[in-house]
Amino acid sequence: MIEEFERCYAAVQSRDPRFDGWFFTAVTSTHIYCRPSCPAHTPMRRNVRFYPSAAAAQLAGFRACKRCRPDTSPGSPEWNTRADVAARAMRLIADGVVDRDGVPGLAAQLGYSVRQLERTLQAEIGAGPIAIARAQRAQTARILIETSSLPMTEVAFAAGFSSIRQFNDTVRTVFASSPTDLRQRSRRPFEVAAARATVVLRLAYRQPLCPDNLFGHLAATAVPGVEEVIGHAYRRTLRLAHGPGIVELSYTPEYVLCRATLTDLRDLTTTIARSRWLLDLDADPVAVDAHLSRDRALRPLITKASGRRVPRCVDGSEMAARVVLGQQISTSAARTHAGRLVQEFGEPVTDTGGGLTHLFPRPESLAHADVAMPRSRGATFRRLNEALASKELQLGPGCDREKAVATLGQLAGIGPWTQQVIAMRALGDADAFPSADLGIRRAAETLHFGSTPSVLLKRSQPWRPWRAYAVQYLWSMDDHDVNHWPPRPRSSTTSPPKETP
């Protein structure tokens, strides 16, 4: 349980939605656990317990509230920003590793024994990896029950359960309802095709959220064939464990609408996790903006458009390759280079809802690609992909960030700018700061900071540990396509600034 009772209870009394996902409120008199913002009557102090995860509350014998649906709250920002073993494990579990490889596979990826890992997670999260994965399976099952017309048998195995009995028991225990009752109460339309399943769901986030830099950046840097924008929707292909998928993400003031078209519904959990990571939906923008607003120079930028997120990626290897492709050239040139590589080395996909054609190529293919760029940068590109293909460099959700950045630094042609951009967008390092970036240096000149990297590094120290978010505000000073959503029509007469990955 969480020991900081007074702070948590104050959040419950205020029904502050910003704390949803940070912790869960369990009530001993009803045996129900809720999100802090639950509109129900505030329980008496003596009946309240606080847990750091839904899995811990379930393990203690509490079931999910039917009114506030705590399983749909945003995730804790801790698991994305922290770099320790517990956070790495949480990111891997969210990505579906336990369902695919079991707890031994999870432990092996982290370099721990199963026993060490279980002790660590029990101490940090209040539950072991099996209980955490079980809570995640229950959430996935509920999504499939309420958004699809699949038979319950298929829902059970798609959610990761090993048997129908386990599925039924878990749903009843967690939600105090049978799978059939959950489906009957749902009023959402079903969208399921014969061979490929389309699931529509809402991705929650903490207010506020500024879509300009987030969706604008993804649209402006979209690689032809892999990504596209149709109307107000950003779409892209995904390489998943059981076959390719396509995800379509649309911003609304209350949630992000996600339409996932999958070859196999067992990949739904991974798709949700990668979509949330891509859009940085588990961030706590109020805490970040409050910290950065202490700097008077940044305060007007934050007041103008608060809630900026860090646009990330769905695959660390893909992002690293794209960052190297984008060294010292414009955004449009980088898109052109990447699009050619996709057409030549990417795996074809079928997209009945748009114009997506390929998955982004694997590092094994790009390690031998003949890229139309200067010889030295082409050699860097190949070395990077060789390191990724051999697993010498790992950029997945459970990787060791410090080790990954150090390995990048050992590759010839990978400088500080490239390291920091990969750390920011592929590794999710909230404190990454590419001080040599031209856009940041232009903004610094306007704000009279001084534009040399060394001066900027010194000036940025008070922004820690949120410098990656400060970067988004500095970039917002440039009237660049990455800061506009919906996207502006592309013009052949204007060239975006260089070094915008």
Distance CA 498, CA 145 (A): 47
Read off the tokens for 283: 């961030």
CB count in 10 Å sphere of residue 451: 17
Distance CA 240, CA 263 (A): 9
Nearest CA among 286, 272, 242, 309 for reference residue 137: 272
- List the catalytic residues: 34, 437
DSSP 8-state class, residue 83: -
Q: Are strands 63-64 and 227-230 parallel, antiparallel or unpaired?
A: unpaired
Sheet holding 227-230, edge to edge: 197-203, 256-262, 245-251, 233-238, 227-230
Burial of 193 by CB count in 10 Å (0-12 exposed, 13-18 middle, 19+ buried)?
exposed
Q: Which helix (H) or strand (E) holds 445?
A: helix 438-446
Nearest CA among 233, 392, 413 for reference residue 323: 413
Q: Please, are residues 140 and 105 in contact by the beta-carbon 8 Å criterion?
A: no
Q: Please, are residues 118 and 85 in contact by the beta-carbon 8 Å criterion?
A: no
The CATH T-level fold of domain 316-483 is: Endonuclease III; domain 1 (1.10.340)
Q: How many residues does the chain have?
A: 501
Nearest CA among 206, 215, 212 for reference residue 289: 206
Q: Which CATH class is domain 197-284?
A: alpha beta
pLDDT tens digits, one per residue of 269-322? 999 999 999 999 999 999 999 999 999 999 999 999 999 999 999 999 999 999
More confident residue, 191 or 228: 228
At 189 the pLDDT is: 52
- Amino acid 91 reads R
Domain with CATH 1.10.340.30 in the chain: 316-483
At CA 269, angle to CA 265 and CA 272, rounded to 5? 110
At 25 the pLDDT is: 96
Read off the tokens for 7: 């702070």
Tell me which CATH code domain 78-147+150-185 carries: 1.10.10.60
Nearest CA among 105, 339, 354 for reference residue 241: 105
Q: Please, are residues 62 and 34 in contact by the beta-carbon 8 Å criterion?
A: no
At 489 the pLDDT is: 67
Distance CA 326, CA 265 (A): 34
Domain with CATH 3.30.310.20 in the chain: 197-284
Burial of 105 by CB count in 10 Å (0-12 exposed, 13-18 middle, 19+ buried)?
middle
Q: Please, are residues 177 and 169 in contact by the beta-carbon 8 Å criterion?
A: no
Q: 331-345 and 316-325 are packed helices; what angle lies between their axes, rounded to 10 degrees?
A: 130
Nearest CA among 212, 69, 233 for reference residue 138: 69
- Amino acid 336 reads T
pTM: 0.90
Q: Which residue do the tokens 């506030």 mark?
A: 68
CB count in 10 Å sphere of residue 324: 27
In this predicted structure, the answer to whether residue 479 has a pLDDT above a threshold of 80 is no
Domain with CATH 3.40.10.10 in the chain: 5-72
pLDDT tens digits, one per residue of 347-373? 999 999 899 999 999 999 999 888 878
Read off the tokens for 352: 């009945």
DSSP 8-state class, residue 19: G
Domain with CATH 1.10.10.60 in the chain: 78-147+150-185
The CATH T-level fold of domain 5-72 is: DNA Methylphosphotriester Repair Domain (3.40.10)
CB count in 10 Å sphere of residue 300: 11
SS3 breakdown of the chain: % helix, strand, coil, rounded to 5? 50, 10, 40
Distance CA 78, CA 304 (A): 27
Most confident of the ranges 30-39, 327-336, 473-482: 30-39
Read off the tokens for 406: 């150090």
Q: What percent of the chain has pLDDT over 90?
A: 79
Q: Are strands 32-34 and 63-64 parallel, antiparallel or unpaired?
A: parallel
- Amino acid 147 reads T
Distance CA 351, CA 230 (A): 13
Greatest pairwise CA separation for the chain in angstroms: 70
pLDDT tens digits, one per residue of 16-67? 888 999 999 999 999 999 999 999 999 999 999 999 999 999 999 999 999 9
Q: Is the dihedral of CA 129, 79, 423, 230 positive or negative?
A: positive
pLDDT tens digits, one per residue of 164-182? 999 999 999 999 999 999 9
Read off the tokens for 6: 């007074």
CB count in 10 Å sphere of residue 228: 20
